[in-house]
Amino acid sequence: MKKGERRTVLLKAPAKVNVILRVLDRLPNGYHRLWSIMQTIDLMDAIRISVDEEAQGISLHCKDPSVPKNQENLVYRAADLILRKAGRTIGLDIELTKQIPMGAGLGGGSSDAAATIAGVVYVLGLKWSVPEMARLGAQLGSDVPFFFFGPTALVQGCGEDVRSISLVGEQWIVLIFPGFPIETKWAYERLAASRGERLPLLSDHLVKLGTEQPLSWNALLPWVKNDFEQPLFAAFPCLKQIQEELLCAGALKALVSGSGATVFGVFPDETTAKQAKQALEGQSGRLVFAVKTCPPGERAIHPCSARTKQGTLQTG
């Protein structure tokens, strides 16, 4: 990039749901080992990143007043991490447009961070590999690496062990965010208190899901489970009620995503999903979405367009 030239990249950052989430043993560092199958969905934040070689520092903008614009935001921290690692002192202007609710168990902040890493690496021309970017993302949060390997992946350990899964077909999902966030640390504390020292077991069949051969949604759905549900339902009975509402509305399966508070249902088709959305929305504080899963073969995070003063570049 020539001196004084501005270059802009626009990225979409998808939400995720945990189709399976098993929480294993607690490590000496206080974190837990996980076993999760994650899936990206067509509920997206948008991030526009502009670089100016003649400026310095990071300027983060978002129209949502509840979104922090400093080091408290993973977008800001991701951009700062890249600049420090690359040894660059240029200016970055970042505009974040939020659609994914915060504190909802949908990975919005982690996806935003992954998109920021990919975008800043792109506009700086750093040529870093996907594994390199994922390892950097792991420094920001356990869900960040997944978004470089989606749309579907098996996530293990503390989030650093990610393997793409071949999940055939698309599925309609209805999400219900009850209007309040759940703090992840609190959810883990409740989980530990509710299960004592007993650890969940994983079958040999489950470990092989999608990693050795293509997997269908019909084969996956019987295994859906979230270890957080028992303590969350005890503390927030409204989440159990939402799960029952989704099932009554035609969901094949319904469960909490992540550590909450969103509950989602997997529906057989678009018509049933949109009818369920219409029937279940309207209650005070609720946000209800009917979306598709992101299609197989589509990377979760990638620059979708880049603009320089010479013209527009399309990237995969």
Active site residues: 16, 143
- Yes or no: say if 259 and 288 are a contact pair by the CB < 8 Å rule: no
As a whole number of angstroms, the distance between CA 9 and CA 307 comes to 6
Is the dihedral angle over the CA atoms 64, 65, 66, 69 positive or is it negative? positive
| Dihedral angle over CA of 280, 281, 283, 284, nearest 10 | 150
**DSSP output for 143-210:** TTGGGGT-SEEEEEETTTEEEE--EES--EEEEEE-S----HHHHHHHHHHHHTT------HHHHTTT
Please tell me whether the peptide bond between 290 and the residue prior to it is cis, using omega within 30 degrees of 0: no
Tokens 């051969």 identify what position? 213
Tokens 């929480």 identify what position? 23
Strands 225-226 and 6-26: parallel
Is the dihedral angle over the CA atoms 70, 73, 77, 80 positive or is it negative? negative
As a whole number of angstroms, the distance between CA 216 and CA 169 comes to 7
Residue type, 73: N
DSSP 70: S
Phi and psi at residue 134, to the nearest 5°? -65, -40
DSSP 295: P
As a whole number of angstroms, the distance between CA 200 and CA 19 comes to 16
